[in-house]
Structure 1
Amino acid sequence: MSKYDVAVIGSGPGGYVAAIRCAQLGMKTAIIEKYNTLGGTCLNVGCIPSKALLDSSHHYEDAIKHFEDHGIEIPGEVKVNFKKMIERKAAVVDQTTKGIDFLMNKNKIDVFTGIGAFKDATHIEISGDKNETIEAKNTIIATGSKPSSLPFIEIDKERVITSTEALSLTEIPKHMIVIGGGVIGLELGQVYRRLGAEVSVVEYMDRIIPTMDAAQSKELTKVMKKQGVKFYLSHKVSAVERKKNEVTITATDKKDKEVTFTGDYCLVSVGRRPYTDGLKADNAGIKITERGQIEVNEHLQTNISNIYAIGDVVKGAMLAHKAEEEGVFVAETLAGQKPHINYNLIPGVVYTWPEVASVGKTEEQLKDEKVEYKSGQFPMRALGRSRASGDTDGFVKILSDAKTDEVLGVHMVGARVADLISEAVTAMEFRASAEDIARMSHAHPTYAEAVKEAALAATDNRPLHA
């Protein structure tokens, strides 16, 4: 029987990063993955393939809508080769997962393919092509999450689909009805809208991306409506029925009036649930909450002292980079170090175009917590760089403490804000004030100048270009 200092169950961003960091710190490490490719949901059917399709569809939309503005003329009709687009997405995924294989070999991490299940707190049975048992002094559970549904919806994976199937369709839908106005539904909805599908988003809450700042929700709704996406907010779905190639969704609006939607595809995007199926956590005595999450303490340690859990399977935002931070945190804890994670500074991003990015407290949260704050906002349309690229939608908003001027939250909508948000994270990690950011030189012309201008607006309402 093989013995390890650490066994990691699950090879998503949290799991494989935890394994690498453990190996770097001198621990003999194994990683167990049920599928034939490493990388988990993010690399195989999540972050990476969705961004590949977002980028491909963005190029197509630019070609048919914006190239002419730039003096680029394409003779003949611009057409979508959807099969090739999907093939490119698959190639990107393949290249990325092979990169994880390389990292496992480089760091001398043993990879086991199969379902990892606890026999007891120190032994893991692996059921796959070859059944075997390994012994682990410590175990890190990183089994991630799966798409959620509603009790009355039957996901047939053909016409009533989740994000997994939406990434590998064989045709462009005529009318895709998206149940859920969160990150995944909006991103994939935008992909297919660009490619010519009619897209209707049915959302239970009164706004899309409801966990982000209300100003971001308002701006993204406005922009996506201009792009042709239809929104039905405050609508409670009560039934989803498929007849051959037609799907009918029944919902009630805020006035309790029944409304029906008919399309050829229904994307169910109502969140994700922790995935512990097949883990046999009870054999090790691990506690799981009523929400299906593995219960952990502030050290990400379960009630069994040598077993830890990270990522989507524990409380907190279901984000790949949050899982990565937790993987490193546990590895360094096992090595006797004193790592730290500030969960308030885990950024959130929506990869639509324009992009949406956020870190820290929203304006609604500060009001609820009765924190006195200042707000500075700067529109992207006032930037020379935005006008040069034609990406004038969006803004940067900075919220700072009314007394100390410390930055409490930064919320952005615009071109490349998924990258810009890291400036805000860095500033907040070092507890910068809005004035600190305002006094920093930002290269001209860049989208980042909007951050400086918003900081000037928050400091004493003195933006230079608005």
Structure 2
Amino acid sequence: MSKPERFDTLILGSGQGGKLLAWHLGRTGQRVAVVERQWVGGACPAVACLPSKNEIWSARVAHLAHHAADFGTITGAVRTDLAKVRQRKRDMVAREVAAHLHAYRSSGAELIMGTGRFVAPKTIDVALNDGGTRTLSGGRVVINVGSHAAIPDIAGLAHAQPLTHIEALELDAAPDHLIVLGGGYIGVEMAQALRRFGSRVSIVDHNPHLMHREDPDMAEAVQSVLRGEGIDLLLGAQTSKVAGRSGKEVRVTVRIDGKEQTVDGSHLLVATGRIPNTAGIGLEHTGVELDERGYVRVNERLQTGAPDIWAIGECAGSPHFTHVSVDDFRIVRDNMTGGERSTQDRLVPYCMFTDPPLAHVGLNEREARRLQIPVRVAKLPMNNVLRGEATDETLGFMKVLVNANDDRIVGFTMLGAESGEVMTAMQTAMLAQLPYPKLRDAVITHLTYAEGLGALLGNVPARA
């Protein structure tokens, strides 16, 4: 092994939290290196969050164009040019890459494109993408390697070469019939988008309802939206085998209520979960431990069991959201200089970008029961929100959970237009531990979707 190049901080992986840390430390004068094997900026701007929402927006435009006559605009025949949709997405990614490269240059942090593998506790060998190798060591090391799509062990599935979300976002023509394995957020988002681009779509999920972590009433509302757009749902379906090749002909065999049936399609998309990218990176040389699922074992400060080695984002078992990786960055940044920031008791929101979108923060009813937290529940249909009456966006409902013993809001879920923005108002009230009547009686602008919060909270039952 050649003599390592020495850095103050060495970061393996350029995902959201790691790159923010690199830029911050670089600006403070540290010598920082980030090793990234494929995507400048990590998956979020290249193949995940931004690209998927870019194409989902194109799908919404297609949907509105097909329904333009409902709003008084008469159009001719409407069709989708998926190659142009893809190019719009690629143009955005190119802008993101340029912005990231500028951030590296301006911060002084060095981006090294190559595949890194630990060969000693804080030393990494890098096989450079353009040839050659470099050996790097750091006074401190941060593991930020992310995760990848899981391919279940189903007979014939790997041979069928199924799409993941990455390949689905590179399609240049709408599949004749897309079969989606998995009813989580990625599967549901992509299913609706491809349906709006003109594909026939079937979702196969082994759970009794989609998004199985959500309350059944919310999941049923989403299922109603999808069925209303012509998407077939095969729920409680155990997939036993797959035949054929995605992109040509593919057959999926499932068992529902003890009866076997087959689904024939042209393309197969797998969206059944994620696996951390911790295998094969030499962690056995570091003293870093993995948990039983392969995630880096960290404490609440995001420190591993090895001195001066930290982990950030999905590979550390943090909730799989970019905004959580941003908070992981803040935690590591402050704790590297003696702070006491922690991952404990984070109020983590999330949003599924269907149309209408689903947003959630805090507890749902299922979680409240599991934790034995007594709650009061109130709901409000979106057709009772006047903004939706004006825009014809009346699908879905809001639901709030208020502690039964005091007036603190402990959970909120909304399926409805602009739900992510409305949810943030509720999250702010929860962070401030604001008694719900304060928000109920607030003067909220008319005509907005957030105006519905007043009516929703007005439905909260009185304390027993």
2:349 is aligned with what amino acid? Answer: P
User: Would you say 1:427 and 2:423 are equivalent positions?
Assistant: no
Residue by residue over 1:32-79, the C-alpha shift from the partner in whole angstroms, topping out at 9 and shown as x without a partner, is: 1111x41222211111111011000110110011x11222122x3122
- Give per-residue Cα distances to partners, 1:6-53, cap 9 Å, x unaligned: 111111112212223333555432211111x41222211111111011
What is the CA-CA distance between 1:343 and the residue it aligns to? 5.0
CA deviations 1:302-323 (Å, max 9, x no partner) are 1102111111112242111111
TM superposition shift of 1:152: 2.6
1:5 to 4, 8, 30: 8
1:392 paired residue among 385, 391, 394: 394
Distance 1:394 1:404, change over 3 A: same
Return the alpha-carbon distance in structure 1 between the equivalents of residues 272 and 372 of structure 2. 31
TM-score (norm 1): 0.94
Cα distance between partner residues in 1 of 2:253 and 2:318: 32
Q: Given the superposition, is the C-alpha separation of residues 41 and 411 from structure 1 closer, same or farther in structure 2, using an over 3 Å criterion? A: same
Which residue of the other structure, out of 125, 134, 148, is the alignment partner of 2:150? 148
| Residue 32 (str. 1) matches residue 54 (str. 2) | no
Code of the aligned partner of 1:321? H
The question of 1:124 aligning with 2:130 is answered no
Asked if 2 retains the 8 angstrom alpha-carbon contact of 1:213 and 1:364, the reply is: yes
Deviates more, 1:239-248 or 1:143-152: 239-248
Q: What amino acid does structure 1 have at the position aligned with 2:34? A: I
Partner amino acid, structure 1, of 2:380: F
Contact in 2 for aligned 1:380/1:394 (Cα 8 Å): yes
Between 325-334 and 26-35, the greater mean CA deviation after superposition = 26-35
Superposition misfits of 4+ residues, deviation over 4 angstroms: 153-159
Change in CA separation of 1:418 and 1:155 when aligned onto 2, cut-off 3 Å: farther
Q: Percent same amino acid among aligned pairs?
A: 28
Q: For 1:100-179, what aligned pairs fall within 5 Å after superposition?
A: 100-128=100-128, 129=130, 130-152=132-154, 160-179=162-181
Aligned counterpart, 2:20: 17
Which residue number corresponds to residue 70 of structure 2? 69
Measure the CA separation in 1 of the matches of 2:94 and 2:375. Answer: 47
Letter in 2 for 1:136: G
Unaligned runs of 5+ in 1: 462-466
RMSD over equivalenced CA pairs, Å: 1.9
- Asked if 2 retains the 8 angstrom alpha-carbon contact of 1:250 and 1:261, the reply is yes
Map Cα deviations across residues 424-458 of structure 1 (whole Å, 9 max, x no partner).
Answer: 22221122222122132211100111223222222
Check whether the contact 1:21–1:332 (CA below 8 A) recurs between aligned residues: no
Distance of aligned partners of 1:262 and 1:349 in 2 relative to their CA distance in 1, 3 Å threshold: same
Alignment partners' CA distance in 2, 1:209 and 1:421? 18
Structure 1 residue 180 and structure 2 residue 182: aligned?
Answer: yes
Does the Cα contact within 8 Å between 1:344 and 1:359 map onto a contact in 2?
Answer: no
Matches within 5 A, 1:27-426: 27-35=30-38, 37-65=39-67, 67-74=68-75, 76-128=76-128, 129=130, 130-152=132-154, 160-242=162-244, 245-253=248-256, 255-341=257-343, 343-426=345-428
Note if contact 1:34-1:116 (Cα within 8 Å) is conserved in structure 2. yes
Equivalent position SS for 2:459? helix
CA contact (8 A) 1:200 1:232 kept: yes
Equivalent AA in structure 1 for residue 251 of structure 2:
T
Answer yes or no: is the 8 Å Cα contact 1:395–1:450 preserved in 2: no
User: Contact 1:159–1:264 at 8 Å: present in 2 too?
Assistant: no
**Structure-2-length-normalised TM-score:** 0.94
Q: How far apart in 2 are the matches of 1:157 and 1:195? A: 27
- Distance (whole Å) between structure 1 residues aligned to residue 10 and residue 66 of structure 2: 50
Is the CA contact (8 Å cut-off) linking 1:18 and 1:324 kept in structure 2?
no
Q: Do the aligned residues in 2 keep the contact of 1:235 with 1:252 (CA within 8 Å)? A: yes
The CA distance in 2 between the partners of 1:307 and 1:94, in whole Å, is 32
Contact 1:173 / 1:197 at 8 angstroms: preserved in 2? yes
Shift of 1:409: 0.5
Cα separation, 2, equivalents of 1:28 and 1:322: 26
SS of the aligned residue for 1:345 comes to coil
Q: In 2, distance between residues paired with 1:344 and 1:221?
A: 30
Counterpart amino acid of residue 9 in structure 1: L
Q: Which runs of 5+ in 2 are unaligned?
A: none
Q: Is the 8 A contact 1:45 1:167 kept in 2?
A: yes
**What does residue 445 of structure 1 align with?**
447
Question: How far apart, CA to CA, are the structure 1 residues paired with 2:455 and 2:23?
Answer: 40
Say if 1:95 and 1:445 are closer, same or farther in 2 by CA, change over 3 A. same
C-alpha displacement of 1:420: 2.1
Count of matched residue pairs:
457
Given that residues 10 and 31 in structure 1 are in contact (C-alpha distance below 8 angstroms), is that contact kept between their aligned partners in structure 2?
Answer: yes
**Are the structure 2 counterparts of residues 457 and 157 from structure 1 closer, same or farther at C-alpha, using a change threshold of 3 Å?**
farther
CA contact (8 A) 2:81 2:173 kept: no
CA distance in 1, matches of 2:381, 2:25: 44
Q: Within 1, Cα distance between the matches of 2:289 and 2:220?
A: 40
Aligned residue identity for 1:276? T
Residue in structure 2 matched with residue 464 of structure 1 by the alignment = none
SS of equivalent residue, structure 1 residue 176? strand
Are 1:380 and 1:396, in contact at CA under 8 Å, matched by a contact in 2? Answer: yes
CA distance in 2, matches of 1:274, 1:109: 25
In 2: Cα distance, 1:458 partner to 1:341 partner: 31
Structure 1 stretch 24-33 or stretch 399-408: which is displaced more? 24-33
Distance 2:97 2:258 in 1: 47
Taking the aligned partners of 1:369 and 1:326, their CA distance within structure 2 comes to 26
Equivalent residues of 1:398, 1:434 under 8 A apart: no
